[in-house]
Structure 1
Amino acid sequence: MTELTTARSETTVRAFPLPRTGCPMQPAPDYAVLRETEPVSRVKLTFNGREAWLLTRYEDMQQMLRDPRFESDIADPGYPLQFGFPLELLEQGIVQRTLFHMDPPVHTQHRMMLMPEMTAKKVEAMRPRTQEIVDELIDAMLAQGGPVDIISALTMPLPSVAMTELLDVPRDQTDLFYRWITSLVTQGTPEEHAAANTEVEILLHRLIAERTENPADDLISSLILRNRERGGDLGPTDISALVRTMIAGGHESTMNGMTMAVLVLLSHPDQAALLREKPELAGQAVDELMRFSSVADHGTVRVAKEDAEIGGQLIRKGEGVICSLTAANHDPRVFADPNTLDFHRKEAAQNIAFGYGHHRCAGQVLVRMQMEVVFTTLLRRIPGLRLAKPVEELPFKEKALIDGLHELPVTW
Structure 2
Amino acid sequence: MSEQGRTIVHDVPLNVAQQPDPYPLFERIRKHGVVQRVRLNPTLEVWMVTGYDEAVAALTDPRLSSSPAGVNGLAEEMAHQERTNVLMASMLVADGSDHTRLRNLVSKAFTARRIEALAPRIQELTDAHLDAFAARGTADLVAEFALPLPMAVLAELIGIPDEGQPDFAKLAVGLIMPPNTPERLAKGARARAELTEFYEPLIALRKKEPRDDLLSALCAAQAEERITDRELTAMAILLTLAGHETTAGLIANGVHALLRHPGQFAALRDDPSLLPGAIEELLRYEGPVSRGVARFTVDPYEIGGVTVPAGEMIIIGLAAANRDPARYDRPDILDVARREVPQQLAFGHGVHFCLGAPLARAEARIAIGTLLRRFPDLRLTDPDEDLTRREGILRGMATLPVSFTPASPVGARAGAGRRP
- Which residue identity does 1:61 align to in structure 2? A
The number of aligned residues is 399
Q: Deviations over 1:32-79 (max 9, x none)?
A: 233233221111112x72110011100111111111221111334349
State the alpha-carbon separation in 2 of the partners of residues 32 and 324 from structure 1: 11
Q: Deviations over 1:196-247 (max 9, x none)?
A: 212211221101111111111111110111223x2x6112211111112211
Q: Give the equivalent residue in structure 2 for 1:351.
A: 344
State the alpha-carbon separation in 1 of the partners of residues 140 and 189 from structure 2: 31
Distance 1:80 1:309, change over 3 A: farther
List runs of 5+ in structure 1 lacking aligned partners: none
Q: Deviations over 1:10-30 (max 9, x none)?
A: 613522138879993x54313
Does the CA contact (< 8 Å) of 2:70 and 2:298 recur in 1?
Answer: no
User: Which residue among 103, 110, 118 is the counterpart of 2:102?
Assistant: 110
1:234 and 2:230 aligned: no
Distance 1:361 1:391, change over 3 A: farther
Q: CA shift at 1:170, angstroms?
A: 2.1
Q: Give the equivalent residue in structure 2 for 1:140.
A: 132
- Which residue identity does 2:198 align to in structure 1? L
Q: Deviations over 1:83-112 (max 9, x none)?
A: xx9863522686652222111111111111
Tell me the SS of whatever aligns to 2:220: helix
Q: Give the equivalent residue in structure 1 for 2:361.
A: 368
Q: CA shift at 1:152, angstroms?
A: 1.0
Does the CA contact (< 8 Å) of 1:396 and 1:405 recur in 2?
Answer: yes
State the alpha-carbon separation in 2 of the partners of residues 126 and 189 from structure 1: 35
Distance 1:170 1:18, change over 3 A: closer
Q: Give the equivalent residue in structure 2 for 1:7.
A: 3
Q: CA shift at 1:278, angstroms?
A: 1.9
State the alpha-carbon separation in 1 of the partners of residues 73 and 66 from structure 2: 8
State the alpha-carbon separation in 2 of the partners of residues 372 and 105 from structure 1: 34
Does the CA contact (< 8 Å) of 1:79 and 1:302 recur in 2?
Answer: no
Q: Give the equivalent residue in structure 2 for 1:404.
A: 396
1:309-324 aligned within 5 A: 309-324=302-317
State the alpha-carbon separation in 2 of the partners of residues 358 and 391 from structure 1: 42
State the alpha-carbon separation in 2 of the partners of residues 121 and 411 from structure 1: 37
Tell me the SS of whatever aligns to 2:166: helix
1:265 and 2:284 aligned: no
Does the CA contact (< 8 Å) of 2:172 and 2:241 recur in 1?
Answer: yes
- Calculate percent identity across the aligned residue pairs: 32
Q: Give the equivalent residue in structure 2 for 1:217.
A: 212
- Which residue identity does 1:363 align to in structure 2? G
Q: CA shift at 1:172, angstroms?
A: 4.6
User: Which residue among 38, 41, 51 is the counterpart of 2:36?
Assistant: 41
Distance 1:92 1:269, change over 3 A: closer
1:55 and 2:49 aligned: yes
CA RMSD, Structure 1 to Structure 2 (Å): 2.7
State the alpha-carbon separation in 1 of the partners of residues 313 and 73 from structure 2: 5
1:200 and 2:195 aligned: yes
Distance 1:94 1:121, change over 3 A: closer
Does the CA contact (< 8 Å) of 2:58 and 2:316 recur in 1?
Answer: no
Tell me the SS of whatever aligns to 2:207: helix
State the alpha-carbon separation in 1 of the partners of residues 241 and 174 from structure 2: 11
Distance 1:96 1:330, change over 3 A: closer
Distance 1:390 1:279, change over 3 A: same
State the alpha-carbon separation in 1 of the partners of residues 332 and 102 from structure 2: 37
State the alpha-carbon separation in 2 of the partners of residues 55 and 89 from structure 1: 26
List runs of 5+ in structure 2 lacking aligned partners: 405-420
Q: Give the equivalent residue in structure 2 for 1:281.
A: 274
Q: CA shift at 1:298, angstroms?
A: 1.7
Larger CA deviation: 331-340 vs 308-317: 331-340
Q: CA shift at 1:297, angstroms?
A: 1.5
TM-score (norm 2): 0.87
User: Which residue among 25, 32, 45 is the counterpart of 1:30?
Assistant: 25
Tell me the SS of whatever aligns to 2:205: helix
Q: Give the equivalent residue in structure 2 for 1:304.
A: 297
Q: Give the equivalent residue in structure 1 for 2:334.
A: 341
Tell me the SS of whatever aligns to 1:321: strand
Larger CA deviation: 110-119 vs 10-19: 10-19
Q: CA shift at 1:140, angstroms?
A: 0.5
Q: Which runs of 4+ in 1 moved over 4 A?
A: 18-23, 78-81, 92-96
State the alpha-carbon separation in 2 of the partners of residues 80 and 60 from structure 1: 26
State the alpha-carbon separation in 2 of the partners of residues 74 and 305 from structure 1: 10
Does the CA contact (< 8 Å) of 2:264 and 2:336 recur in 1?
Answer: yes
- Which residue identity does 2:48 align to in structure 1? L
- Which residue identity does 2:193 align to in structure 1? T
Larger CA deviation: 272-281 vs 13-22: 13-22
Q: CA shift at 1:117, angstroms?
A: 3.6
Larger CA deviation: 268-277 vs 112-121: 112-121
Q: Deviations over 1:247-293 (max 9, x none)?
A: 12211111112111110111122222222222122110100010011
- Which residue identity does 1:372 align to in structure 2? R
User: Which residue among 158, 162, 170 is the counterpart of 2:161?
Assistant: 170
TM-score (norm 1): 0.89
Distance 1:320 1:193, change over 3 A: same
Tell me the SS of whatever aligns to 2:69: coil
State the alpha-carbon separation in 2 of the partners of residues 111 and 258 from structure 1: 26
Q: Give the equivalent residue in structure 2 for 1:119.
A: 111
Q: CA shift at 1:191, angstroms?
A: 3.2
User: Which residue among 159, 167, 172 is the counterpart of 1:181?
Assistant: 172
Q: CA shift at 1:182, angstroms?
A: 2.7
- Which residue identity does 1:70 align to in structure 2? L
Does the CA contact (< 8 Å) of 1:27 and 1:326 recur in 2?
Answer: no
1:161 and 2:152 aligned: yes
Tell me the SS of whatever aligns to 2:96: coil
